[in-house]
Amino acid sequence: MQAKKRYLTLLSAATCLALLLYLGGVQLRAARAPPPAGRHGAAPRPGSEQRPWPRFPDALRSFGEPEGAGGGGGAGRVSPRQRRDGSAGLYRGRRCRMESCFDFGLCQKNGFKVYVYPQQKGEKIAESYQNVLAAIEGSRFYTSDPSQACLFVLSLDTLDRDQLSPQYVHNLRSKVQSLHLWNNGRNHLIFNLYSGTWPDYTEDVGFDIGQAMLAKASISTENFRPNFDVSIPLFSKDHPRTGGEKGFLRFNTIPPLRKYMLVFKGKRYLTGIGSDTRNALYHVHNGEDVVLLTTCKHGKDWQKHKDSRCDKDNTEYEKYDYREMLHNATFCLVPRGRRLGSFRFLEALQAACVPVMLSNGWELPFSEVIDWKQAAVIGDERLLLQIIQDRIFKHISRNSLIWNKHPGGLFVLPQYSSYLGDFPYYYANLGLKPLPTFTAVIHAVTPLVSQSQPVLKLLVAVAKSQYCAKIIVLWNCDKPLPAKHRWPATSVPVIVIEGESKVMSSRFLPYDNIGTDAVLSLDEDTVLSTTEVDFAFTVWQSFPERIVGYPARSHFWDNTKERWGYTSKWTNDYSMVLTGAAIYHKYYHYLYTHYLPASLKNMVDQLANCEDILMNFLVSAVTKLPPIKVTQKKQYKETMMGQTSRASRWADPDHFAQRQSCMNTFASWFGYMPLIHSQMRLDPVLFKDQVSILRKKYRDIERL
């Protein structure tokens, strides 16, 4: 019964445009401080079977990146600088929150009253915006006296800011600035359904909104200002101002069981942004319980761009009645269009059809108060292509456990192995533990000129670890490989590999020589004792899906620069453990190489920097967990930073600035900030306790 009530409540909440009710319920309070907002090279485990894998193209790029229009050449493309300049109106007030850009004093005397500017002579207002204004003027919140108002709404039509639209209002910037009550937008609310235009469809509304709040459809989580803006659903011009049809939930079955399991009917874009997902729907359509229909037949020049599938798609499209499908389906697909929002969202809710969202980065309507995870299936656009890939290559398709257990099918690449025990996420399910040894990979970039160099001391210390199976020295130095006798004698094999390209990303290649689950990644100038290595590995065995190590760093949001920042200061929390002294599962070498786009790896290689940050981004994006820092002598940082080698990256004055830039580029590709802060550090039991040092297993750590 509770499930039914919740379902009905959410359906009715989003079926009508309940913005006024939402605004009326706004508590005038200070908002929270915002965040911007096959086992390669190893014998298989018993019971596993090795099969050769086909090679696939590079992993999917982020769907958050805008695409240019296909077939139009470069003339219509907008440069990044032009795009930034054109979006100034939207992003200039990005730091606005209720406590900084809203005057609560205006609301204390008369309560929550809303004033609508009088319509200016000669100004045209579209019917949809007239309905919005009429709803406000007919509500209990309306006041015709601006001196009593807490909130101000423009009579200038801001709903459609697509420059190619006949509803577009020209010279809006000067018209808004001339309003005597504008006050740089403070305590103003601006409504918008459409922004940007072909080919990029940015979220720019075309004028400086100042400190005004946005009630906007199709707004991205990147540009949404939490507890300040309001995400509203995209509604058509035919959407009723009040009332409307009742919902179609007729039975107690939640969700309702109907003729179709999944349906969609809509446009297919042949070129440009928004085309990827809809172009792939025909792979899933079966004409029975899954009916996904698209048509190319829209726009003036669709025949110029039509592909070999258009005629067939158009014919199939005409066979089905949209309303009949909608009202007889359990799930309704809501893929993004040119913009993030879609009419299908409200239509699905009104039809009591569970929305299946495929629109990465969309801040869903009224997200501040509605938990959409309880009423919608929120998918990832990339899932569609991954599912199709599994159908084509069934011999390496992901099973139900992979798709339905964290981290899901997107991050578990079947090309790596067909055996779940080769991944760090399923040990508990299979009753397994990771292998009890590690392979050390030391990244060397400095010529070997002295037997007292840190890299040789490090090699000896690591080789003494009871858990060390092998040491790989990746020689990325411009000088020739040192003679074999220059390397110290050890009790474990030492393999020196000369990097072919000698780039930073090569340290994370999935080398066949790595035969253990665990990789101990080390910079050549790292100073660690054998005891520290042993303790870090024992900790990692309990957290095999995470990065475990010593040097910690953190990220933060810089309000002044409106961007992510990177800090190496010793603080009470951290969000990264650098791979200069860290242990992680070898699968992350494969994921770094085959999942991340070439653009990010090329950036790392060109800068000879940030590969450790990128690995932390990747692992946190997969696990949704922070890394783990273990006890370490404080001198690690001072020793490492004090290296005077000309090859040391830490001596480069641009090193820190580059890392700041990397943080923002990586966050842009992932579509959000995946790094997670932690205040946890793991120490050995009895560490610093007032007991005899002889009773302590890792006693040497206290002596360092």
Whether residue 294 is found in the same domain as residue 191? no
**Concatenated DSSP letters for 499-556?**
-SS--GGGGGS--TT--SSEEEEEETT----HHHHHHHHHHHTT-TTS-EES-EEEEE
Same domain, 95 and 174: yes
Same domain, 420 and 442: no
* Segment 24-42 mean pLDDT: 38
**Range from 480-484, 583-587, 625-629 carrying the lowest mean pLDDT:** 480-484
pLDDT of residue 149: 94
Q: Residue 686's pLDDT is what?
A: 61
If you average pLDDT over each of 222-226, 320-324, 495-499, 504-508, which comes out highest?
Answer: 504-508
The residues facing 628 across adjacent strands are 548
pLDDT of 66 strictly over 60: no
491 & 570 share domain? yes
Rounded CA separation 50/419 (Å): 8
Q: Is residue 312 part of a domain?
A: yes
Do 641 and 499 lie in one domain? The reply is yes
In a domain, residue 21? The reply is: no
* pLDDT above 90: percentage of residues in the chain: 40
Instruction: Assess if residue 701 is contained within a domain.
Output: no
272 lies in the same domain as 186: no
* CA atoms of 148 and 110, how far apart (whole Å): 6
Question: Is 533 inside a domain boundary?
Answer: yes
Residue 305 DSSP symbol = H
In a domain, 559, yes or no: yes
- Give tens-digit pLDDT for 628-655: 999 866 554 434 444 444 345 555 678 8
Task: Mark 599-616 as b/e (b = at least 16 C-beta within 10 Å).
Answer: ebbebbbebbbbbbbbbb
Does residue 255 sit within a domain? no
Calculate what percentage of the chain has a pLDDT beyond 70: 78
pLDDT at 49: 39
CA count, 13 A, side-chain hemisphere, 128: 17
User: What mean pLDDT comes out for the span 593-615?
Assistant: 94
- Angstrom distances, CA of residue 682 to CA of 173, 573, 632, 677, 687: 56, 13, 10, 15, 10
Residue numbers of the domain that contains 365: 260-385
Compute the distance between CA of residue 678 and CA of residue 675 in angstroms, rounded to an integer: 10
Pairing of β 290-295 and β 329-335: unpaired
Q: Tell which residue, 171, 173, 132, 174, has the closest CA to residue 155.
A: 132
Query: Does residue 411 lie within any of the structural domains?
Result: yes
Residue 63 pLDDT level (bands cut at 50, 70, 90): very low
Tally of domains in the chain: 4
Q: Are residues 452 and 478 in the same domain?
A: yes
On whether both 91 and 157 belong to a single domain, the answer is: yes
Do 409 and 522 fall into the same domain?
A: no
Average pLDDT, integer, range 472-479? 93
Q: Within this chain, do residues 424 and 559 fall inside the same structural domain, yes or no?
A: no
Per-residue confidence (pLDDT) for residue 192, from 0 to 100: 92
Is 13 contained in some domain? no
CATH number at residue 533: 3.90.550.10
Strand partners, 472: 441, 495
Tokens of 382: 């990339």
Task: Say whether both 505 and 404 belong to one domain.
Answer: no
Q: What is the pLDDT of residues 77-120, one digit of tens each?
A: 444 434 444 444 445 677 889 999 999 999 988 899 999 999 88
The closest alpha carbon to 545, from 426, 442, 632, belongs to: 426
**In terms of C-beta density within 10 A (0-12 exposed, 13-18 middle, 19 or more buried), how is residue 665 classed?**
middle
The answer to whether the CB of 37 falls within 8 A of the CB of 226 is yes
Q: Are residues 552 and 619 in the same domain?
A: yes
Which amino acid appears at position 84 of this protein?
A: R
Q: Report the range out of 344-348, 480-484, 538-542 with the highest average pLDDT.
A: 538-542
The pLDDT value given to residue 250: 62
